[in-house]
Amino acid sequence: MASFTPHGTAYESFGSGPHVIALVHGLGLNRHSWQWQVPALSGTHRVITFDLHGHGDSSVPPTTPSLTVFSDQLAELFDHLGIARASVFGFSLGGMIARRFAMDHADRLETLGILHSAHARDKAAHDAIQARVVQAAQDGPAATVEAALSRWFTDGFRLSHPQMMDEVRRWILANRKDVYAPIYQVLVDGVTELVAPSPPIAAPSLVMTGEEDYGNSPAMSRAIAAEIPGSELVILPGLRHMALAEAPELFNAQLLAFLSRVQRG
């Protein structure tokens, strides 16, 4: 059952421990997309999941959506919960928001996880994602959901797990057309403000993606890692975008191993 901040952010808290992890979901998803991670992480950490503005049970964005709007939403959530510092792990759009948070609120960041997230795109990749935004603006999330499932899951897994596909499909289709497309545009435009951050991100960082995540490719993750001194890079073999759901044991093992290396106390 979700609780709410005064600004309408729906959130849940799990587990306890000396360290806090905030998990930031991707475009069109919601806090429940972390259901495969919460049991593993909350055994040793306090874990916070929440719905981005315009998603799940949270209020719509208070102004034109941007990475800063979502970064400030997370800071407001920390204020509400009395959290001074935390690890922030973001998936896809959430990984972009996590980087923006690292740039805007560095003093509140303990460690950073950038998971299956985009970096600078070539023209073909930019045009392809921009075309999907236009589709979503015209016809809503239904226009892009089936293609998304194909990109996100390997073919065999998608065919053998119809119930999971139905769940993820429901999450995406629940988004309001008039809110979804402007947030989708942030996925397109927000990348430019994240390239070569100055000063560089200083928090211990994990950068991870799937070998077959073509929209958030290994090349992109390598470029992100190259811009964060001392960061760790992991490429998950044979997996696409939604590795967190398709191979949670492997995915979670990487997160926990990273945390064990960089956290003390």
Question: Could you tell me the strand order of the sheet in which 109-115 lies?
Answer: 3-4, 10-14, 46-50, 20-24, 86-91, 109-115, 205-210, 232-236
What is the domain class of 3-120+191-262 according to CATH? alpha beta
Q: How many angstroms separate the Cα of 213 from the Cα of each of 52, 116, 171, 240?
A: 23, 7, 20, 4
For 74-131, write each residue's pLDDT tens digit.
999 999 999 999 999 999 999 999 999 999 999 999 999 999 999 999 999 999 999 9
Distances (CA, A) of 172 to 28, 205, 218, 253: 5, 29, 25, 27
Q: Which pLDDT value is given to residue 264?
A: 73
Name the pTM for this structure.
0.98
Specify the pLDDT at position 142. 95
Closest alpha carbon to 119 in 212, 39, 227:
227
pLDDT at 148: 96
In the predicted structure, residue 265 carries a pLDDT above the cut 70: no
What letter would DSSP give residue 154? -
Per domain, the residue ranges of the chain are: 3-120+191-262
pLDDT at 50 over 70: yes
